Amino acid sequence: MQSSAIPGESTGENCPGLLRLRANILSPGLIAALALFLFLAILLYGSLYTAVGAACSELKDAQSLMMPVMLLSMIPVFVWTAVLKNPASPLSVGMSLFPPASPFLMLMRLALRPAPPAWQVALSVVLTTLTAMAIVGAAGKIFRTGLPMQGKPPSFVELARWVMAK
């Protein structure tokens, strides 16, 4: 006989209890937060990767510019265990408010108990939205400037100049 992950229930015999457990874990509010944070993450990271792709004409050039973007996307992987152990710690709060990490870490904190205060969730959404909007704008400028410029790979200083140009 297989052991069950849920005490007092077998793996397939008492399905209503398992469905009740899943309903408690995946509340409608958590699913709505997942949709919101997923949209923000796609907008934020999609525009970052689009900017890198528009700035480079060769794959080798794009690989060098991808390192900072990949490091940003790896931040939640580096700190998720600390957030899981203590979701109310200053590190957890700070990292879940950091826009590149908030779509992942704030969602995890929402699933844990005690849930974060509403003001932290709202601030996380606002900061991530503003950051995503700024990155979309910067990616648009890089796309307009970088697409016609083929040949030499841009430096980070050159990318900053492209973003600041009117």
Q: What is the pLDDT of residue 161?
A: 79
Flag residues of the chain having pLDDT under 50.
Answer: 1, 3-4, 6-10, 12, 14-21
pLDDT score recorded for residue 147 = 65
pLDDT at 127: 96
State residue 148's pLDDT score: 64
Structure tokens at 43: 């907008």
Other C-beta atoms within 10 Å of 83: how many?
Answer: 23
Whether the model clears a pTM of 0.85, i.e. scores above it, the answer is no
**Residue among 115, 103, 119, 112 nearest 36 (CA):** 103
- Indicate the DSSP class of residue 149: -
- pLDDT given at position 74: 93
